[in-house]
Amino acid sequence: MLKRFIKEYFDPEFDIRVQAFNLLGFVGVVAGLVSALTSALYESNLLQVVLNLMASTIGFFMLRFAKKTGLYRICFLITVILIFIIIFPILFFIGGGYLGGMPLFFIFAFIFTSLMLEGKIRVVFIIFEFIIYIACFFGYYLFADSFIIHVSIFDIMNPILTRLIVSSSLLLVVIQQYMRIYNNQRKRLAEFDRLKTEFLGIMSHELKTPLTIMSGYAQISQKFLSGVPEMENVENYVKLIASEADRLALMVGQLLDVTRIEEGRMAMHTKPSSIMEIVQDTVSTYSSVFGKNNNKLSMAGIPDLPFVLCDGHRVAQVLVNLISNAARHTADGTITITAEEQESPEFGVRSSAPNKNTSGFVRVAIADTGEGIAPERLSTIFDRFKSGADGKTPPGRESGTGLGLYICRFIVEAHGGTIGIESAPGVGTMVWFTIPIA
C-alpha cells in the first residue's frame, strides 16, 4: 500500500510542482488534524476545532480532485484563497493571535504559495497574503482584549509548541523531498550532458575522416589543373572545395576539442619550441583559409625570440582560430601578426614574472582592420557559443561555431599564459595571448 501510495502521488515522472503540491497538501492535512486534536484536548474552542478540520478536509479533497482531473493549477488557487486567505486569518484571531501557533502556519502559507504559483499571479498572492497577515497582527494588537481566549501559560505555550513541532517536522520532510527531486534531476541532467558530449565526439570523429579525404583530393586535383588555361574555372572551383573542406574540418575539430575539454581529456604535451616556426608553418598550411576576402596577411616585426615551452600543435590551433576569425570579419584589409618578449603574462605589465618556473613570456598578437566588435560583447566573447557578431550573419558572410575563442582561452591558460582582446567598431580588432619562455 505504501509503494502504491508513493507511486500514485510522488511518481518521479510527475512535474515537480505536482509532487510538491501533493507533498505540501498532505503536510497541511496532517498539520490541520493535529491542530484540531490539540484544540479539542486543551483549548476547548469548538470553532477552532471546526476550522482546522475544515482546512484539512479541503486540503484532502483538493488532493483527490487534482489527482483525478489533473487540474492542479486551479487547485493551487483554491487552496490559497480558501485556506490561506480566509481560514488562516480566522484561526489567527480565535487561536490566540500572535501568542498562538498560527504565525508558524503563515510561514507555511508563504512557502506553499511561492512554490505552487508562478509568474505575476504568485507575486500578487504573496503580496496579498503579506498584507492580510500584517493586518491580522496589527488588528490583534489594537483589539487584543476582544480576542484573548487563553488564560494560562500552558494554554498559550501548548499550541505554539504543538504547531512548531508539526510545522518544522513536516517542512523538514518537504525540504528532504525537494532535495531528492533536485538530486534526481541533477543526475539526469548530468547523464544528458554526458550523452550530448559523447554524441558530439562520435559525430566529430565520423565527419573528420571524409572531410580530410575531400580536402586531400581537392588539393591534388588543384595541382593537376594548375597552369592549364582551359581548366582555369575548374581549378577555381576545386580550390573553393578545398578551402570549404578545410573550414569544415576546423569547425569539426572545434566540436571535438570541446568534448575533450568537458571530459578533461585535453592534455598539453609541452616542449621547447620556436614561436616563429609555429607561426610560419601555420600560415603556410592554412593559407587557403586565411587568404579569403582579399586580405593581406603580414608577419611584420617578428624578431628572433627565445624558445617557448608549449604544445606546438595546440598553439598552432590558437593561431588558426584567431587568424581565421580575423579573415572572416575583415574584407580588403590587413591582418598583422606580431610577437615580442615581455616579463609578465599580462599585456602591458612589466613587473617581475609571477611564475617562478619561467623567465618571462612571449606575447603574440593578431590585429586586423575589420569591422570590430561592440564593447558590450567583449566581456563574454571567450565564453562558449559567444562571438563578436550580433547573432545575425550577413549574406555572404561565413558563420562560426562560437567555440573558437573558448578553446583558445583554455589552451592558453593551460600553458600558464593569458589571452585578451581589444576592439573598436569600424576600426578593427586585436587579440593577444602569452606563452611562457622555456
**pLDDT over 70 (residue 201):** no
Tell me the pTM.
0.51
Task: Please give the radius of gyration of the chain, using alpha carbons only, rounded to the nearest integer.
Answer: 35
361-368 and 428-436 as β-strands: parallel, antiparallel, unpaired? antiparallel
Residue among 435, 320, 430 at smallest CA distance from 367: 430
| Cell 497538501 belongs to residue | 25
Q: Which domains does the chain have, with CATH numbers?
A: 2-190 (no CATH), 267-436 (3.30.565.10)
Residue among 340, 302, 296, 322 at smallest CA distance from 422: 322
d(CA 109, CA 70): 22
d(CA 237, CA 124): 64
State the Cα angle at 376 between 375 and 380, rounded to 5°: 110
Is residue 221 within 8 Å of 238, Cβ to Cβ? yes
φ, ψ for residue 335, nearest 5 deg: -115, 120
End-to-end CA distance of the chain: 71
The residue that leads in pLDDT, 302 or 420, is 420
Residue among 321, 291, 302, 335 at smallest CA distance from 430: 335
Distance of CA 379 to the CA centre of its chain: 16
Cell of 394: 550577413
Query: Lowest-confidence range among 166-180, 268-282, 338-352, 415-429?
Result: 338-352
**pLDDT over 70 (residue 358):** no
Kindly state the average pLDDT of the residues 71-82: 85
Per-residue pLDDT, 395: 44
Cell of 186: 541533477
- pLDDT band of residue 216 (cuts 50, 70, 90) is confident
Residue-by-residue DSSP string for 262-282: HHT------EEE-HHHHHHHH
Is residue 166 within 8 Å of 35, Cβ to Cβ? yes
Is residue 108 within 8 Å of 164, Cβ to Cβ? no
Packing angle, helices 404-414 and 312-328, rounded to 10: 150
| C-beta neighbour count of 145 within 10 angstroms | 6
Residue-by-residue DSSP string for 194-236: HHHHHHHHHHHHHHHHHHHHHHHHHHHHHHHHTT-GGGHHHHH
Residue among 327, 243, 240 at smallest CA distance from 285: 243
| Cell 593577444 belongs to residue | 432
**pLDDT over 80 (residue 232):** no
Strand arrangement, sheet containing 419-424: 296-298, 334-342, 361-368, 428-436, 419-424
Cell of 148: 484573548
State the Cα angle at 315 between 271 and 368, rounded to 5°: 150
**pLDDT over 70 (residue 124):** yes
Q: What is the mean pLDDT of the chain?
A: 78
- pLDDT band of residue 67 (cuts 50, 70, 90) is confident
The CA-atom distances, in angstroms, between 433 and each of 70, 84, 410 are 58, 60, 11
